[in-house]
Structure 1
Amino acid sequence: MLWGCFSSAGTGKLVRIEGKMDGAKYREIIEENLMQSAKDLRLGRRFIFQQDNDPKHTARATKEWFGLKNVNVLKWPSQSPDLNPIENLWQDLKIAVHRRSPSNLTELHLFCQEEWTNLSISRCAKLVETYPKRLAAFNGKPGDLIVINRLAYHHWAIYIGENEVVHLDPEGGDSSSSLELLSFRGEVKRQKLTDLVANDSYQVKNLLDQRYRARDHYVIVKEASSMVGRQLSYNDDTYNSQHFARDLRYGEAESRQVRRAACPAWAGLAAARAATNDFSDRRLLYRSLKRLSK
């Protein structure tokens, strides 16, 4: 387990956590590393510190420590999605360390330290710069549809609260046939929204609310959670991540009506979409390129 911090001026300390992480350990870490990081990054005395509402972070003794050190802590609403931009840096770090294939814990720790210091100042500054915009843009509630704007397609998920989503991952299942271009199996996954989004933009988009009544949010969340781990038949045109999420929000019967109404328009779409950036999911693009290269 690691603790780290950063600002628009770059990365601060990165600490390997030994033993059980409790309130006392957390206060020991920030005592030894937070103020020094602020000094190294030249933040001055009036910097604002952001953390989530973990009980270790909000304990009375921890609050007293912040008060004694005159640290301004950003108020973080309860039951709010954790959109702390450091989540993006953790993902960057994970990718960079994985590429180096550490063979033991010593190498893992060493590579983490090296790659953490290699994270660019421009990357850190960009995350801080876009933070207010991303906070204002997300107003999701449990049961909402989330659309993620990938480079060449849109991926959809159901928001279930606490910064978590359930989605149908086309990369998670087994291919049903090497001869089939569009059909294979995807896996239903539960992930942190920030992990799934990574560096892409996203928004709430309950696209059929004007036509159909959404089911109660607790029904949506319960059903979505119960499906995690399942492998489902996946087809880029007839059952992709959007269909999966839409079925959960509106109910399978209503969503199926929409699919039937749209079928004539989809008949020749598979080939035409290769010239656009509106792919519903990535597998069609990858497989089309693979087929063309043969």
Structure 2
Amino acid sequence: MNATPTGTAVTSPTRKVGLVTGGGSGIGRATAIEFARTGAAVAVLDIDEDAAAETTEMITKEGGEALSGRVDIGDEDSVRAAIQHTVAAYGGLDYAVNNAGLSSHFRQLDEMTAAEFEQVVHVNLTGTFLCMKYELPLLTGGGAIVNVASNGGVSVIPHAPAYVAAKHGVVGLSKAAAVDYAPAGIRVNALCPGPTRTPGFEKIAAGTPMIETLEAGTPLGRLALPQEAAAAAVWLCSDAASFITGVALSVDGGRLA
């Protein structure tokens, strides 16, 4: 892992520490940058360590404090090591945004193999569970977790049964943890972005009318930018959302309405 902390000393009692999985691109990158702009130190974790390092460089060039590292959220040892590295570098953890995930295989249920189904569920749902398993004990003095689900966690995306099942599970897992850990002052929420113009989404949509079709079905007439989902994630972690826990917040331009 790369540790490149700059700015406020790690011994500062007022500096907050945030962790973002999938921080190498898209919503995760935008969230890490937004955390840093609030003055938090940020651990940027991604399965692509080079992409995580790029995000970290973007933060430090703005005068923020960040470290980067590799994490495979489907591997328990990898998750444990990445979170331990964060705590060793910064002395604790205040916020975690569990954003890493796997996109869907777009086919109907009877056309999927069991291995394909299990892969999507393992990464998206079990991976979120593993992150929370090692984050929650570190938040004993309070803190907040945001699990990035999807509009597919509160509605249906056609021909994506494994993804929809996994993201519904992420929402349920978030609500269960919100209730169980509320006595410790820990808040847990799910963020449910609609279609967002991330590099990954742009790649999937390239050469198709997908973007135009989705924009036509969005009351605000466009798709979200990664920064808009990131702003919601960071807000849910902030004191401004201090009485909000156990919710699934859609950031979708009114699509579900």
* TM over 0.5, shorter chain: no
Larger Rg: 1
Q: TM-score, normalised by structure 1?
A: 0.22
Q: TM-score, normalised by structure 2?
A: 0.24
Q: Which has the higher contact order (CA 8 A, sep 6+)?
A: 2
